[in-house]
Structures are given as structure tokens and as C-alpha cells.
Amino acid sequence: MSLDISFIGILIGSIMASSVPLILAASGELITERSGVLNLGVEGMMIIGAISGFALMVITDNLFIAIIGSMLSGVIISLIFGFLTQSLLTNHVATGLALTIFGIGLSAMLGKNFVGIPGKDFPILFSSLRESIPFFGPILFGHSIVLYFAFALPFLTNYFLKKTKLGLVVRAVGDSPVSASNQGINVILVRYCCILYGGAMCGLAGAYLSLIYTPQWIENMTAGRGWIALALVVFATWSPIKVLIGALIFGGITILQLHMQAIGFRIPVQFLSALPYLMTIIVLVVISRDSRKIKLNTPTSLGRIFYKEK
């Protein structure tokens, strides 16, 4: 195998593609957590997004409806979580876990009739440029619109949180819901919105898997990516840009170690498979060592139940 420059370009392109679901899900979860809600149901919401996106594509033959539908299904399933934790004041952790188990089970049931059906080609943008420019072509061009959106998302999220009034409100609610409520902010409403937004992004992340990355339905096809996304948010200390870096490292090492396995390096396969997890954690811990910054970025009220005094 030759390590020529165009191969590296293609490699980077595929690394980017593999990190998209992580970026989407983690960015969504980041907003949810910044409002003080810990939703461990990411995996469940992703897999529901994956099956509903794929099923809608098969039924309507329309990819646009499939994508929008997957996001809506993410919203609906996160609404269950929102209702339980915000209106019925259930424990965030237990409810989130239940949501994941529920999502995996429900998706398997819904997906029974869709196993083995081939997917559809998802339109890619600038495909001519991809071939004509060496190295940069495969990196910058020839991707789906979802990928471009995913790579813009961390920056948009960062801008939203740091520069906009609404972002300030979200951070305030995550910092101290009691203070926010006493200032007249509708804490429950803000948290509902953040939960639903997180659900939409997880749904989209799932649809990316079943419609674009590996266009087909396989039971349990998210394969733990939801959990990785959750871990990314925490290890990236709730910073959107670091989430992006973490997702790329994870995607990168996943792809690289596959190549290493294929080449036949004399390293145990199990170690290579564990490498992405290990490296992502190490790198994120190293780049987020500043304890002062961690304190400022961590939503103080994360996972705590809030109820309004009457």
C-alpha cells in the first residue's frame, strides 16, 4: 500500500465522515447538559433516529422527509424524557438509561421488516471538485449536506452559547435554576427546549448512520456511539470546539487502527480496538487541564431536579 498524498486525503475524508454522528449527537447533548439536564438517552435517541429515517426513506422514497422525520422522531422520544424529568421530576440518570433501553428495543421491533433492504444513494455535493483537486478534493468536497452541517455545528453552538442572549439564558439555567427562576426565567420551558433540541440532533446523528454512512438498517447499528458522544461532552468539559476535536480524534484513530489491523501490525487486535477510546480520553484530558476553565464551563446544576416553589 502506498502512502501517497491522495490516499491521505481520502483517509482524512473518511475520518471526517466517521466522526459526523459523534459531532451531531454530542453537540445536541452539550446544549441539553448546559441547561442542567443530564440525558443519558443519547444512544436510544440515535437508534430511533436511525430506524425512523431509514423506514421513512423506504416508505416515502424521499430523503428530505426521511431526514426531517428522523429529527422529529428524536424530538418525540426526547419529549418523553422531558415530560418525565421536568414535569414529573423523575431522576435524570435513571430516566435517561431507561430511554436508551427503550430506544434500542423499540428500534429493533420497528426495524424487523427493514432488515436487508438496500439503502439509497444520498446526494453528495461538489462531486466534480472532489476528483479534480488532489489531496484537498476528498477532504473538502464530495460530502453530504449533513456532514457540512455537522462541521459547522460546533462553531454555531459555541457562538450561540457565548454571544447570544438565549445562549446566556441556557447557561444561566444550567448554573442555577433557582436564581434563574427568581429572575423570572421560565426554567422548565428552557430545559424542555434544550432537551428537544438534543433529541433532534441525536435523531439526525442516527439518520446519518442509516441513510448516509452505511445506508441500510442493521439492528443496534449505533453500536455505542451514543455513549461515546456522552463521554465526549464530559471529557471536552462542555466546550463545543473540544467536542469537535475529540470526535475527530476518535474517528481518526478508529479508521487508522482498522488500517493497521488490515496491514497486520504485530499489536494485539484488542489493544488496537481499544486505542480510540484510550487516546480520545487522554487527549481531551490533556487539553482541558485548566481547572478554572472546567469550573466555568461545567453546568453546576447538571442532573439535579428543579422544582418551582409555590
The residues that touch other proteins, with contacts defined as CB under 8 A, are 165, 168-169, 171-172, 175-176, 178-185, 295-298, 300, 309-310
Q: Which is nearer to other proteins, 133 or 185 (CB)?
A: 185
Q: Which is nearer to other proteins, 44 or 174 (CB)?
A: 174
Q: Which is nearer to other proteins, 112 or 310 (CB)?
A: 310
Find the helix or strand (DSSP H, E) in which 229 lies.
helix 225-235
How deeply is 207 buried, as exposed, middle or buried, from its count of CB atoms within 10 A (0-12, 13-18, 19+)?
Answer: buried
- Distance of closest approach, residue 180 Cβ to other proteins, in angstroms: 8
Structural contact between residues 71 and 53, judged by C-beta atoms closer than 8 angstroms: no
Quick one: how far is CA 273 from the chain centroid? Answer: 21
DSSP state for residue 85 in the 8-state scheme: I
C-alpha cell at 22: 459523534
For 224: left if phi > 0, alpha if psi spans -120 to 50, otherwise beta; the answer is left
Q: Which is nearer to other proteins, 128 or 300 (CB)?
A: 300
- Distance of closest approach, residue 297 Cβ to other proteins, in angstroms: 7
- Distance of closest approach, residue 181 Cβ to other proteins, in angstroms: 7
- Distance of closest approach, residue 229 Cβ to other proteins, in angstroms: 23
Q: Give the span between the Cα atoms of 30 and 239, in whole angstroms.
A: 8
- How many helices (H) does the chain have, and how many strands (E)? 14, 0
Q: Which is nearer to other proteins, 75 or 172 (CB)?
A: 172
Query: Which residues have C-beta within 8 Å of that of residue 110, sequence separation ≥ 6?
Result: 51, 52, 55
Q: Which is nearer to other proteins, 289 or 310 (CB)?
A: 310
Query: Which residues have C-beta within 8 Å of that of residue 126, sequence separation ≥ 6?
Result: 140, 141, 142
- Distance of closest approach, residue 183 Cβ to other proteins, in angstroms: 5
- Distance of closest approach, residue 292 Cβ to other proteins, in angstroms: 9
